[in-house]
Amino acid sequence: MHPVTNVHYMVLSVALLLVGTIGVLTRRNIVIILMSIELILNAVNINLVAFSHHFGDVHGQVFAIFVIAVAAAETTVALGILIALFRNKETVLADEVDLLKW
């Protein structure tokens, strides 16, 4: 078997990013769209950690910590909005939320 290089990690990261993007663009359930966003952010984190190891300093890992913190904040607010939305519209399907459509 070949030793694992940075390119392996990059390919994995790109694949995970694309899977997450497909989830965001095609699913109707807002909860699952949020999970797909987590997948995308995780792909970014894998890339950051791989390059941090590659260059032998920890700045990439510090960045990944910030990504995790911002992802947590984003999910919290999004789920709050989702609960408010469900109370008013009784739906969690993204394409049924069309209050601003004329």
Partner 1 sequence: MVDTLSFYIFALMALGGGVMTITRRNAVHSALWLIVSLLGAAGLFLLRGAEFLFAAQIVLYIGGVVLLILYVVMLVNLDETARARQFNKQWWIALACVAVVGAEIAFVMKRGLGALALPGVAAVAPTGEGNTERVADVLFSEYMLPFEIASLLLLVAVVGAVVMAKKRV
Within residues 21-50, the interface with partner 1 by CB under 8 A covers 21-23, 25-29, 31-32, 34-36, 38-39, 42, 45-46, 49-50
Nearer Cβ to partner 1 (56/102): 56
Interface of this chain with partner 1, residues 74 to 93, rule: CB under 8 A: 74-77, 79-84, 86-87, 91-93
CB atoms within 10 A of CB 33: 19
Which of 3, 99, 100, 102 forms a contact with partner 1 (CB under 8 A)? 3
3-class secondary structure, 29: strand
44 with 68: CB under 8 angstroms? no
Strand partners for 93: 29
